[in-house]
Amino acid sequence: MVDASPVVVVTGANGLVGTAVCRALVERSAQVRAVVRRAGSAPALDGVTEHVGDFADEGLARAVTQGADAVVTTVHPMGSSREVQHRVGVEGTPVLARAARDAGVARLVHVSTAGVYDRSAGVGDVAENGALLPEGSGDYADTKNATDSALAQVGGLTTVLVRPPAIMGAGDTSVWNTLRPQEVRRGERRANPAKTWAWVHVDDLAALIADVATGAVATADDAERGPVAGGTTPVIVAGEPATLRDYFGTVTDTVGVAPEWTDEPVWTGQLLTDRARGWGWAPHVSLARAMEELRQGLTTRS
């Protein structure tokens, strides 16, 4: 699908992940159709055109996908009610997927989450074929799993489910750089320091998404070498190994509070990224750099 200037639709283009994806796509000479809900909120980048509206609106979905080469979906209202998460994710995202299929779009890249996997104590390392959490595991996990399943039912597309863990990156809406530290300041300071803290920097995540969307990663008949043409292929993307001592310790130290370390049984395995690496991806942001960015952001805010 590689084109000198592929056309890629990005939903949630004004969010932390969406903005980074738009930037990565522009760096790869793509033309980006940025779908946002608020006028004037799309990234101000050459090659990016703003489209305002609800991506689950069939009219808008048809309009933005006409003539596009790929669609990237980044929107899921984490933290909203289960009803809203279901409406936006499980019901809304397939509307765009079906419009993309009908328009002849080659690829759909959906930002899923590693949070769909069972990572309870004793599970061990997790790859793409790892056990998924059962229904009843929480609003976020349930609706993300259901969204993935709904997209897999939309035939006629090459669909890639990108599954990141905690996404690091500076921004006012960043869960791990901004929102969770605010919770720590408010007193939520209990954590087992030995628990695996799987993470990826938003720039590394965006790089994989952009490479898949622009066709730099070729399709294959083996998921370990590339997205399966006409199928649905999950891919885990994660940075170097870390524990909650790395993340939580950095936050508490920076904001000047003492952590409350616990010792209950926790997951100590790793997210395996062999598939992503087989597609030519590798993380460039080190844990040290990510923690320094976190520390600098928290110091500035304080």
Using a pLDDT cut of 70, give the percent of the chain over it. Answer: 99
Could you tell me how far CA 56 lies from the centroid of its own chain? 19
State yes or no: pLDDT of 300 exceeds 90: no
Side chain identity at residue 286, one-letter code: S
Is 163 a residue whose pLDDT tops 90?
yes
Which tens digits make up the pLDDT trace of 15-56?
A: 999 999 999 999 999 999 999 999 999 999 999 999 999 999
pLDDT in tens, 205-256: 999 999 999 999 999 999 999 999 999 999 999 999 999 999 999 999 999 9
Give the pLDDT score at 130.
98
111-129 pLDDT, tens per residue? 999 999 999 999 999 999 9
pLDDT at residue 279 above 60?
yes
pLDDT at 2 over 60: no
Q: What integer pLDDT is reported at residue 4 of this predicted model?
A: 73
pLDDT of 301: 73
Contact 269, 123 (CB under 8 A): yes
Name the pLDDT band for 14 (thresholds 50, 70, 90): very high
Taking the model in full, what pTM does it have?
Answer: 0.96
User: Which of 58, 112, 291, 299 lies closest to 197 in space, CA to CA?
Assistant: 291
Sign of CA dihedral 138, 139, 142, 148: negative
Is the pLDDT at 270 greater than 70, yes or no?
A: yes
SS3 of the chain: the string is: CCCCCCEEEEECCCCHHHHHHHHHHHHCCCEEEEEECCCCCCCCCCCEEEEECCCCCHHHHHHHHCCCCEEEECCCCCCCCHHHHHHHHHHHHHHHHHHHHHCCCCEEEEECCHHHECCCCCCCCECCCCCECCCCCCHHHHHHHHHHHHHHCCCCCEEEEEECCEEECCCCCCHHHHHHHHHHHCCCCEECCCCECCEEEHHHHHHHHHHHHCCCCCCECCCCCCCECCCEEEEECCCCCCEHHHHHHHHHHHHCCCCEECCCCCCCCCECCHHHHHCCCCCCCCHHHHHHHHHHHHHHHC
Give 286 or 155, the one with higher predicted confidence. Answer: 286
Give the strand pairing for 48-52 and 232-236.
unpaired
Q: How far apart are CA 6 and CA 105, in angstroms?
A: 11
Confidence of residue 3 (pLDDT cuts 50, 70, 90): low
pLDDT recorded at residue 302: 63
CB 115 within 8 A of CB 148: no
Rounded Cα gap, residues 207 and 222, in angstroms: 22
